[in-house]
Structure 1
């Protein structure tokens, strides 16, 4: 792997940070008038790192990202090939980790780089989703396995959102300090996406303690990380067997109280153990309210989980792009670097523009998360009731946008990163098919992104309703696009305008399909089209916020991206017309 500062060596990443992101709205939403700084001035040392101005906030964010960029490129990158080769092992009922991985996790903990998902009150870094997006992309670029080992602790932010104050005070500072890893236990041997059918049972013992019995499968880091134990956040049934989603509750379980039956032998993520966990009268602490485990607590964290995989997709795509640029600039054939050969240059340019567009979509999803997630918290601190929150127009707007963007972003960024990683293998030629270059690992690791935290098909199901209803006359998606479009100069958006027209017609044709089966078969293409449109729109918007001397090159990438999208829209419309004509001819 390249050994640079992974924040500073990507010009597009720095362009977003320095020019494209509207930091004022992000800081306003997260800092809420710099209330944490006021708490520090009042004597609460927990808020010592809280900024007291916009300049301080930006300097804090930049320093943090510079630190994680340096850590990724210098402390992790030199070792990832060997870590992938060694992997984790299951020996004598325990998971054995490579010592170098454990050393890296300890260094990350000691450097204070782990608790990105917790507020300062509990020892967290205290950063908004947008900064976390940069942070995660950087770490996922260097290695997904190591990133998971470092960052899995942040799954416990669900405890901060839903746990009692007593539970939060007991566990969150210890998690933020790196005393525990964290794992999410949803999947069972017979139930993956079908969560309402889960069978693990929880029987009330006393107070908020229950005894859990059952088996959980595909539990990332369920064993902890070496000497660091884990807390497991598990869904289990407190209702009767037929109670469905409303019979499920959420629990905190310690890894010392479960049995690890084994780990999966996987295509990729070799240093991230995927465990099967057996629960036999295992004590669990109820999180939140009984019966709300799925419908409120798990569903409430879906946007964050989707954004995490979107960031992983962009990070892996950036890794594939960076490694391929280096290889094609050094590999000499026919007396010249292969990167100068037109057929190779064409693929490289496509990889670059696709990665840039993915980043625009992913960061817009993070923006939407910031503008509703923390606004709600600050309103609650000021005494707002649930009724107040439901009637807050600004909160509702950004929450609705996050609900649309996050599944689209997860779907698009994960599917695209697999394609880009495949292109990277292709441009490495025969060497890419060996284990001698990092693209082999990058390609293997990319493949899980379309599967975990909700498969691409699940993301399509989550997206299609919002896309179709959002495109009605006064639909929300149309309102969002029209609002963004109103700031665009028409002379530069001809191709994007054609993409928009093509998408609108495709949605109308989709609604004319006669059966639900036909619509289900075509839904992924409509969602893909929406992702292309949104990415192209956001990609173009980014050109309006950068220095003039950088615009020409970026506009050329945008134009080529939107031409690709236009070709897709034309093909989709043609297929839909054929389907409708065939049905009418019968």
Structure 2
């Protein structure tokens, strides 16, 4: 792997941080008038790192990202190939980790780089989603397994949002301090995406303690990390067997009270244990209220996890792009570097523009999370009721945008990263098919992104309804696009405008398809077209915020991206017309 500072060595990351992101709106939402700094001035040492101005906030965020970039490029990158070869092992009922991985996790903990998802009140770094997006992309770029080992603790942010004050005070400072890893325990042997059918049973014992019985499968880091135990956030049934989603509740379980039946032998992520967990009268602490486990708590955790997979997709794509560029500049064929050969140069340029567009979409999702999530939290701190929150127009706008962008971004960034990793293998030629180059590991690790935390097909199901209604005459998605478009100069957006016209036409054809089966069969293509339209729009918007001397090159990438999108949409429109005509002829 390249051994640089993984924050400062990517020009596009620097552009986003320094120019493209509107930090004022993010800081206003997250720092809430710099109230944490006021608490520090009042004597509360927990808020010692809290910024007291916009400049301090941006500098604090940048310092963190430079630190994690240096850590990724210097403390992790030299070892990832060996870690992948060694992997984790299951011996005598225990998961055995490579010592180097445990050393890296300890170093990350000691450097204070783990608790990105917790507020300063509980010992967290206290950063918004937009900063976490950079943070995660950097770590996923270097190695997905190591990133999971370091960052899995942040799944417990759902406890901060939904737990009682007693539960938060008891667990969150210890989690933020790195005393525990964290795992999400949803999937069972017979129930993956079909969460309402889960069978793991929780029986009330006393107070908020229940006894859990059942089996969970595909539980990442369920065993903890070496000497660091885990807490598992589990979904279990408190209602009767036929109660569906309303009978599910959310629990905190300690790894010392479970059995690990084994770990999966996987294509990739060799240093990330995927465990089968057995629960036998295992004590669990109820989080929130009975019956709210799926709709209120688990979906909230999944939204954050899915944004994390979007970031993973961009990070892996950036890793593949970096390795492909390096190899193409060093590999000499026909007396010149292969990167100068038009066919190879074409691949590299496509990889670059696709990665840049993915990053725009992913960071817009993080922005929506910031402007929705933290506004809601601050309103609740001021005593707002659920009714107040539901009637808040600004909050509702960003909540709706976040709910649309989360599944679209997860779908698009994961599917795209697999394609880009495949392109990187192609650039390496026969060498890419060997284990001698990091690109092999990158390609293998990319493949899981379209599967875990909800397959691409689940993301399509989660987003197609919002897209269809959102594109009605007065729909929310149309409003969002029109609002962004109103700031664009028309002379630079012809390709994007043509894509928008065709997109609206194909959406009209799609809505008129009479059979739900025909719509379901085409839904993935509609979501893909939507993702490309949004990415192209955001990619172009980014050119309006950067120094003038950099615009020409970026605009050329934007035009090429939107030309690709235009070709895709024309093809989809033709297919939909044929489908609609064949249905009418029957």
- For the aligned pair, the TM-score class normalised by the smaller chain equals over 0.9
2:90–2:96 CA contact under 8 A, matched in 1: yes
RMSD: 0.5
2:473 maps to what in 1?
473
1:558 maps to what in 2?
558
Deviation per CA, 1:51-107: give whole Å up to 9, x if none: 000000000000000000000000000000000000000000000000000000000
2:27–2:57 CA contact under 8 A, matched in 1: yes
SS at the partner of 1:116?
coil
Alignment of 1:262-341 (within 5 A): 262-341=262-341
- The structural deviation recorded for 1:223 is 0.2
Matched, 1:544 2:553: no
Counterpart Cα distance in 1 of 2:300 and 2:437? 40
- The structural deviation recorded for 1:305 is 1.5
1:57 maps to what in 2?
57
Counterpart Cα distance in 1 of 2:94 and 2:303? 33
- The structural deviation recorded for 1:301 is 2.4
Counterpart Cα distance in 2 of 1:301 and 1:184? 9
1:227 maps to what in 2?
227
Counterpart Cα distance in 1 of 2:452 and 2:483? 34
1:151 maps to what in 2?
151
Query: What is the TM-score when the length of structure 2 is the normalising length?
Result: 1.00
- The structural deviation recorded for 1:302 is 2.9
Counterpart Cα distance in 2 of 1:261 and 1:529? 43
Matched, 1:373 2:373: yes
2:455 maps to what in 1?
455
1:399 maps to what in 2?
399
Counterpart Cα distance in 2 of 1:57 and 1:177? 22
Counterpart Cα distance in 2 of 1:264 and 1:549? 51
Counterpart Cα distance in 1 of 2:186 and 2:489? 48
Counterpart Cα distance in 2 of 1:386 and 1:580? 44
Counterpart Cα distance in 2 of 1:377 and 1:255? 30
- The structural deviation recorded for 1:201 is 0.4
Alignment of 1:155-194 (within 5 A): 155-194=155-194
1:42 maps to what in 2?
42
1:260 maps to what in 2?
260
SS at the partner of 2:569?
helix
Counterpart Cα distance in 2 of 1:453 and 1:583? 36
Deviation per CA, 1:7-42: give whole Å up to 9, x if none: 000000000000000000000000000010011111
2:155–2:301 CA contact under 8 A, matched in 1: no
- The structural deviation recorded for 1:584 is 2.0
Counterpart Cα distance in 2 of 1:579 and 1:251? 47
Structure 1, unaligned runs of 5 or more: none
Matched, 1:412 2:399: no
Deviation per CA, 1:196-231: give whole Å up to 9, x if none: 000000011111110000000000000000000000
- The structural deviation recorded for 1:303 is 2.2
2:523 maps to what in 1?
523
1:28 maps to what in 2?
28
- The structural deviation recorded for 1:583 is 1.8
SS at the partner of 2:203?
strand
Counterpart Cα distance in 1 of 2:273 and 2:376? 36
- The structural deviation recorded for 1:511 is 1.1
Matched, 1:582 2:578: no
SS at the partner of 2:215?
strand
Counterpart Cα distance in 1 of 2:140 and 2:376? 29
SS at the partner of 1:571?
helix
Deviation per CA, 1:442-466: give whole Å up to 9, x if none: 0000000000000000000011011
The total of aligned residue pairs comes to 586
Matched, 1:83 2:111: no
2:5 maps to what in 1?
5
Counterpart Cα distance in 1 of 2:361 and 2:433? 31
1:128 maps to what in 2?
128
Structure 2, unaligned runs of 5 or more: none
- The structural deviation recorded for 1:473 is 0.6
- The structural deviation recorded for 1:513 is 1.3
User: Which range moves more in the overlay, 302-311 or 281-290?
Assistant: 302-311
Counterpart Cα distance in 1 of 2:471 and 2:204? 47
SS at the partner of 1:224?
coil
Deviation per CA, 1:405-462: give whole Å up to 9, x if none: 1100000000000000000001100000000000000000000000000000000001
